[in-house]
Amino acid sequence: MAYRFYFAAGSQDLYGDECLEHVALHAKEIVEYLNKEAGLPFEVVYKPTLLTREGIYNFFKEAGNDEECAGTIVWMHTFSPAKNWIKGLKAATKPICHLHTQYNEALPFSTIDMDFMNENQSAHGDREFGHIMTRMKIARKVIVGHWRSDDVRRQLVGWMKTAIGIVESGKVRVCRFADNMRSVAVTEGDKVEAELKFGWVVDAYPVNDVAKYVEAVTPSQIRNLTDEYYSRYKILLEGRDEAEFRRHVEVQAGIEIGFEKFLSERGYNSVVTHFGDLGSLRQLPGLAIQRLMEKGYGFGAEGDWKTAAMVRVMKMMTGNRRTSFFEDYTYNLVPGHEAILQAHMLEVCPSVAEGDISIKVCPLSMGEREDPARLVYTCPEGKAIATSLVDLGNRFRLIINEVECLKVPQKMPRLPVATCYWRPEPDLKTGAEAWILAGGAHHTAFSYELDTDQMLLWAETMGIEAVVIDRNTDIRSFKDTLRYNEAYWR
């Protein structure tokens, strides 16, 4: 969706027409700058200065009713008595960014007089506004700095993505084609609470309902999509018969088309499968799921609907760029070279790939189906975040680990899955210990495009606990944080 953001300055009618004219001109100039020069990814819509209780209330109601509005940016150019904001803020349903800026960057020491001070007093008015937001316990982003500065621009862009994650969270619909894997604890969770907290709708269907859709895909549809695969990806036969190889790939093309039709007809944007519950499907959906993820679907394996929903939310925050489902698989524990090899049986999103993407057909070491076709590649170096949402019984906890993705030191020619290789911050031993103490899962929602602050504000807005593992993490204080959180989130 082409989201946009409302921008309004707050004031009051005490200041006289001339001052309010200046307030409006300045706000318009800022909006024009943000739209034309700042290079923001979304449009900012100027709204007239908010002066009264009714005007403020109508502003937030309008933002709430506008499907394409993902949030509001507000700034007190002058002083706006905050009791006037209570009714409006109570009605606000979209994310709020409090832009604590000022029209002039430099304080005009040689010319400043009382008129100037009265007109440019956000240092004063924004404190009144912040006070009522805090008293009302409203989660919001506060950005401090001059509106033309690069830092403010960067923070605004970051907040806009978080705002979209908040709005899109309420649109997540997960289709489960299997229950959680038997006896597994960490993929379980309270689906009612998930809908209350995050707005996620999580439904289940017998897998053979979608298998019927897969069986109904026509040979020409399958041929066309398989041709597309063959033109886009490298084919690694590795000794297999060419015609037999293609027949395996065609099964995944049928799954992709059948699954997508089933999901789109019912309005689902996320999907969950399980290798142990495939009904009449001939292969575990591998390449097919990778392609659906690339198109923006959230995904979790082994019935993991929480991770599927998180992948969807993070894909929407990033405009579906460089974000995937992953699984902590195996370690390199050589001192000085510690890292975790990330993969899954098959299902990693190609949006995180670097270099060639190849198709392989290989046996699956689990389950009892045909050898599934899958996309194989590696991931680029760089900073990223891995997140895990767990249900602790009385609450959800989001665990956010900053990670450094590394080049794999040697090729892995015998490994038939897409991989990423990362070192968790602050180092593997501390990062993994903290992750385990926090109860983090083996499945993650991963992104190169998001940072910790964005995920923290998302979690705060959802009203859930979040813990961070980053370069400053040390185990003693991390354990204290978990202890204090037990008290706060009791």
Choice between 24 and 186, CB closer to Mn ion: 186
* Least distance in angstroms from the C-beta of 184 to Mn ion: 9
Choice between 15 and 275, CB closer to Mn ion: 275
Three-state DSSP at 265 gives helix
Rounded to whole angstroms, the Cα distance separating 152 from 97 reads 12
Tell me which residue has its CB nearest to Mn ion. Answer: 301
* Least distance in angstroms from the C-beta of 291 to Mn ion: 19
Choice between 74 and 301, CB closer to Mn ion: 301
Contact 202, 188 (CB under 8 A): no
Mode of pairing for the β-strands spanning 96-100 and 69-76? parallel
Q: Catalog residues that contact Mn ion under the rule CB under 5 A.
A: 301-302, 327
* Least distance in angstroms from the C-beta of 181 to Mn ion: 8
SS3 labels along 305-346: HHHHHHHHHHHHHCCCCCEEEEEEEEEECCCCCCEEEEECCC
Choice between 342 and 473, CB closer to Mn ion: 342
* Least distance in angstroms from the C-beta of 349 to Mn ion: 14
Rounded to whole angstroms, the Cα distance separating 479 from 482 reads 5
Q: What is the DSSP letter of 413?
A: T
**Angle 305-317/452-462 helices, nearest 10 degrees?**
120
* Least distance in angstroms from the C-beta of 302 to Mn ion: 5
Choice between 92 and 346, CB closer to Mn ion: 346
* Least distance in angstroms from the C-beta of 429 to Mn ion: 24
Rounded to whole angstroms, the Cα distance separating 50 from 75 reads 10
* Least distance in angstroms from the C-beta of 344 to Mn ion: 6
Choice between 125 and 303, CB closer to Mn ion: 303
Residue 346 neighbours by CB under 8 Å, 6+ apart: 284, 285, 286, 287, 289, 290, 364, 372, 374, 417
Contact 173, 268 (CB under 8 A): yes
Choice between 78 and 187, CB closer to Mn ion: 187
